[in-house]
Chains A and B, each alone.
Chain A
Amino acid sequence: MDAIILQILNGLDKGSAYALIALGLTLIFGTLGVVNFAHGALFMIGAFCAVTLNRILTLSHQVVDESRKDFLGNPLKVDVPYVNDWFGEAAGATIIDWSVPLAILFSIPVMIAIGVIMERGLIKHFYRRPHADQILVTFGLAIVLQEIIKYFYGANPIPTPAPDVFRGSFDFGVLLGFDPNVIIYPYWRLVYFGFAALIVGAVFAFLQFTTFGMVVRAGMADRETVGLLGINIDRRFTIMFGLAAAVAGLAGVMYAPINSPNYHMGMDFLVLSFVVVVVGGMGSLPGAVLAGFVLGVLESFASMNEIKSILPGIDQIIIYLVAIIILLTRPRGLMGRKGVMED
Chain B
Amino acid sequence: MSKSTLTRRGVLRTGAVAGAGVALPTIFTSSRASAFTNEPTGGTVTLGFNVPQTGPYADEGADELRAFELAVEHLNGGGDGGMINTFSSKTLDGTGILGKKVEYVTGDTQTKSDAARASAKSMIEKDGAVMISGGSSSGVAVAVQGLCQEAGVIFMAGLTHSNDTTGKDKKANGFRHFFNAYMSAAALAPVLEKMYGSDRKAYHLTADYTWGWTQQESIQAATEALGWETVNNVLTPLAQTDFSSYIAPVLNSGADVLVLNHYGGNMVNSLTNAVQFGLRDKQVNGKNFEIVVPLYSRLMARGAGENVKGIFGSTNWHWSLQDEGSKAFVKSFGTKYGFPPSQAAHTCYVQTLLYADAVQRAGSFNPCEVGAALEGFEFDGLGNGPTLYRADDHQCFKDVLVVRGKENPESEFDLLEVVEVTPRAQVEYAPDHPMFAGGNLGSCNPGA
Contact = CB atoms under 8 A, between A and B. Distances in A.
Interface in A1-60: 2-3, 6-7, 10-11, 13-14
A158 B56 contact: no
A305 B234 contact: yes
B378 interface: no
Contact of A71 (B55, B59, B248, B340): B340
A184 interface: yes
A11 B242 CA distance: 11
A206 B306 CA distance: 40
A159 B278 contact: no
Interface stretch (A207-215, A231-239, A261-269, A280-288): A261-269
A159 B252 contact: no
A304 B307 CA distance: 25
Given A154-B59, A181-B282, A10 B265 contact: no
Interface string A179-201: 00111111011000000000000
Residue from the set A13, A260, A265, A268 with the largest chain B CB neighbour count within 10 Å: A260
A155 interface: yes
Contact of A13 (B244, B252, B331): B244
A183 B307 CA distance: 21
Contacts of B391: none
A161 interface: yes
A76 B413 CA distance: 13
Contact of A14 (B245, B331, B411): B245
Given A6-B248, A7-B248, A189 B276 contact: yes
Given A6-B251, A71-B330, A259-B272, A303 B281 contact: no
A70 B411 contact: yes
Given A184-B251, A189-B244, A76 B276 contact: no
Interface centre among A6, A167, A169, A303 (most CB of B within 10 A): A303
Interface size classification for chain B = 35 or more
B249 interface: yes
Contact of A157 (B283, B303, B340, B413): B303
Contacts of A185: 277
B220 interface: no
A10 B245 contact: yes
Contacts of B306: 159, 161
A258 B300 contact: no
B59 A186 contact: no
Contact of A303 (B55, B245, B414): B245
B140 to A, nearest CB: 16
B120 to A, nearest CB: 21
B335 A72 contact: yes
Contacts of B426: none
Interface in B10-24: none
Given A6-B251, A186-B276, A304-B249, A156 B411 contact: no
Interface of B: 55-59, 232, 234, 237, 239, 241-242, 244-246, 248-249, 251-252, 265, 268-269, 272-273, 276-278, 281-283, 299-300, 302-307, 319-320, 330-331, 334-335, 339-340, 410-411, 413-414
14 contacts: A3-B248, A3-B252, A6-B248, A10-B244, A14-B245, A72-B331, A76-B411, A155-B55, A158-B303, A167-B276, A168-B278, A169-B276, A184-B277, A315-B237
